[in-house]
A and B are shown apart, each in its own frame.
Chain A
Amino acid sequence: MKILIIEDEKELVNSMAQFLRQESYVCEIAYSEREANEKIMLFDYDCILLDINLPDGNGLKVLEKLKNSNKTDGVIIITARNSVDDRVKGLNMGADDYLSKPFHLTELSARVSAVIRRKRFDGNNALVFNEITIDLLGKVVKVKDTTVDLTRREYDLLIFLVANKNRVVSKNAIAEHVSGDNAELLDKFDFLYSHMKNLKKKLAEAGSDDYIKTVYGLGYKFST
């Protein structure tokens, strides 16, 4: 699966590319609007990560060009200017998602896989992981044939962990993911323990193996 990263901060691009490559994505990089325009015309990508603030122009122009040439690449806008206007404009122009800096790479990876999934399976999709099946449309989780009754938080948590399987996902990243932009009380993320405990308990009761591991003081890992 091919991903194009359009971003002018080399250090950030390196991290993003390195992280996504570990997930066996093929990453290409464009540092400027000109480079980006060349690449999107020549190739098709499963997902494009688009920074709005480019040294030689606005990323939204790249998006416009992409949509004008009827390309169906998934697009996630990345910006340091977390403004409502930009978000609305970007999404109206056909971007699939919007991520504001700074972000966790695990969050990025989860968003990328969600976009690719939507594009690939045309919305009719289910995540299958060994005996666990997650129906993303109906938001129903099944272990073999037993439906697991999860709360909204627990469901979000599971999706996030599965999207980052075999990776360490930090407590911060999880807290931010499940409580959105308003995760102000990060020192109180002991709350994660109880959610995680409940999730593990419910999955185990439904007959699933214990995939969710605690990693030192860092966070959690959904490992096979």
Chain B
Amino acid sequence: MRLLQVSLRSSLIFSLLLVVVSIPVSLFSISALFNEEVDESMELHTQQFLKHIKSYANLDDLETDLEVLDQLSYDIDIKPSSNQMVSRAFRTTEIYDSVEHELRSYRELSNGVDIKGRHYVLTVRMALVDNKELILTIGLVQSFLIILLAAGLLLLNRRISKRLWKPFYKTLNQLKAYQLDRNEAIETDKTNITEFDDLNTTVRMLTDRNRKVFLDQKEFIENASHELQTPIAIFQSKLDLMMQNPSMSESEAGMISELEMTAQRMSRLNKNLLLLSKIDNDQFSTKEIIDVTWITKEILYDIKSMADVEAISISHDILPVEIMANRTLIEVLITNLLNNAVRHNVNNGFIRLSLNEGRLTIVNSGPKVQMPPEKMFARFSKESANTSSSGLGLAIVKRVCDSCGYKLNYRYEESHIFTVVF
């Protein structure tokens, strides 16, 4: 759920609750206020009535008049009472309305009065607002309010919030697309919101620092490999000199041979590391139209004698292909793939190479590997105890494909199948 929706939901729920609670509260307060007004008004009526009746006290047939008044006036009842003292009392009653055919609420005030020495009960009556109608009206008004509120909030949320959060989403999208090995820093706009500016500054600092560490590390690998070349060269040269000693025994020769193999391995490993870091550092960027067919045939020629040692047969189906690419990278790519096919093969195995427009496929026999295919292309991931394998060959293949934008596929169907789509 998005942050905007969460805040919107909370404010919506709160306003809804508020409106719902406000319905009974307003209902009670309005009717209480109204009753109070009605009571006051009835008391006034009673006083006025008594005041006026006093001025008619000299009339002889006042008794009859009062009876007529009682009959004619709907709001006022005045009835003779036998009771000496009727106390003052308010009450709410319901009287049948013959026009509307329903019961209506009334408020009544009864007082015991003495007129010309006779006891009367004076009742003043006023109609009350219909409770049902009141509820209905208030409910209607409040519902309208709720709709207005919700619509307003939603609209505000859409309009203002979207604009408000725009810098945040921009930064977020940039972070999503950010790749350490690409050459671009994160660009942020200045917003007037402190939090976003803070966020942007932090993000920029973080990515810049990561990038610096990454570049330093890349440079370190390249420098370390370079620095190692000279000591290995010295080591190698001393071995070459020792080899020339004519009085060497056979066991000494064996030892020197083993040392030389080791030196060779170090040198190979180092050269491959250097190659990897050079690919990473985009040092093979010059492109030209190259004849892949010719390169492939040359490499096949080179590799044939190695394959012959283990009686691996090589068959190929090569069509003329020319692509725009870096020559060194293409040579490295094909050489490493073929080396891999020879190295991880079996005696009397086979290699089948097919090259056609936009696609190079190399199939070789060999036992199934246990590690997952994606691990095969990681640096130094070796499965066999084949110590002379540097564990960098396929990593180099992967890096070349990545940097050239080629698609590299591997699958195992009784044999290893590598496909490069140019």
Using CB atoms and an 8 Å cutoff, list the residues of chain A in contact with chain B: 9, 11-12, 15-16, 18-19, 22, 80-85, 100-106, 153, 167-168, 170-173, 176, 179-182, 184-191, 194-195, 215-219
Contact = CB atoms under 8 A, between A and B. Distances in A.
Given A172-B260, A186-B264, A101 B278 contact: no
A85 B285 CA distance: 11
Contacts of A189: 306
B399 to A, nearest CB: 16
Given A81-B226, A102-B263, A216 B254 contact: yes
B233 A102 contact: yes
> Which 7 residue pairs are nearest across A and B when measured between Cβ atoms?
A15-B237, A102-B233, A187-B388, A216-B253, A80-B229, A105-B240, A191-B305
A180 B332 CA distance: 12
B219 interface: no
Contacts of A195: 305
B284 interface: yes
A187 B344 CA distance: 12
B88 to A, nearest CB: 115
Contact of A15 (B232, B234, B261, B284): B234
A9 B230 contact: yes
The majority secondary structure among interface residues of chain A is helix
Given A22-B244, A83-B283, A218-B253, 19 more contacts: A9-B230, A18-B241, A82-B229, A82-B274, A84-B283, A105-B236, A105-B237, A105-B241, A182-B299, A182-B335, A185-B342, A186-B261, A186-B268, A187-B386, A188-B309, A190-B309, A191-B308, A194-B309, A216-B250
Contacts of A9: 230, 233-234
Given A22-B244, A182-B302, A182-B331, A101 B253 contact: no
A173 B283 CA distance: 28
B339 A184 contact: yes
Given A12-B230, A182-B331, A19 B302 contact: no
B234 A173 contact: no
Given A182-B331, A191-B305, A194-B308, A170 B243 contact: yes
A85 B281 CA distance: 14
B335 A168 contact: no
Interface of B: 226-227, 229-230, 232-241, 243-244, 248, 250, 253-254, 256-257, 260-261, 263-265, 267-268, 271, 274, 278, 283-284, 299, 302-303, 305-306, 308-310, 328, 331, 335-336, 339, 342-343, 386, 388, 390, 393
Given A22-B244, A82-B274, A218-B253, A12 B237 contact: yes
The majority secondary structure among interface residues of chain B is helix
Contacts of B257: 170-171, 216-218
Contact of B253 (A184, A191, A215): A215
B234 A194 contact: no
Given A186-B388, A216-B250, A217-B254, A15 B241 contact: yes
Contacts of A218: 243, 253, 256-257, 260
A153 B305 contact: yes
A221 to B, nearest CB: 10
Given A19-B241, A172-B260, A102 B339 contact: no
A80 B230 contact: yes
Given A102-B267, A216-B254, A217-B254, A184 B336 contact: yes
Contacts of A102: 229-230, 232-233, 235-237, 263, 267
A49 B227 CA distance: 19
B221 to A, nearest CB: 14
Contacts of B303: 185
A30 B386 CA distance: 43
Contact of B240 (A84, A106, A180, A182): A106
A15 B238 contact: yes
Contact of B234 (A12, A85, A153, A186): A12
Contacts of A16: 237
Nearest to B245: A168
B325 to A, nearest CB: 14
Contacts of A217: 253-254, 257
Contacts of B236: 102-105
B124 to A, nearest CB: 113
B307 to A, nearest CB: 8
A111 B308 CA distance: 29
Contacts of A101: 229-230, 232-233
A194 B306 CA distance: 10
Contacts of A216: 248, 250, 253-254, 257
Chain B CB count within 10 A is highest, among A100, A182, A217, for A182
Given A185-B339, A194-B305, A12 B261 contact: no
A187 B227 CA distance: 26
A83 B335 CA distance: 19
Nearest to A167: B244
B244 A168 contact: yes
A132 to B, nearest CB: 23
B296 to A, nearest CB: 13
A82 B272 CA distance: 11
A184 B335 contact: yes
B240 A173 contact: yes
B46 to A, nearest CB: 115
B206 to A, nearest CB: 33
Chain A CB count within 10 A is highest, among B233, B235, B250, B336, for B233
Contacts of B283: 83-85
A194 B331 CA distance: 26
B178 to A, nearest CB: 30
A69 to B, nearest CB: 29
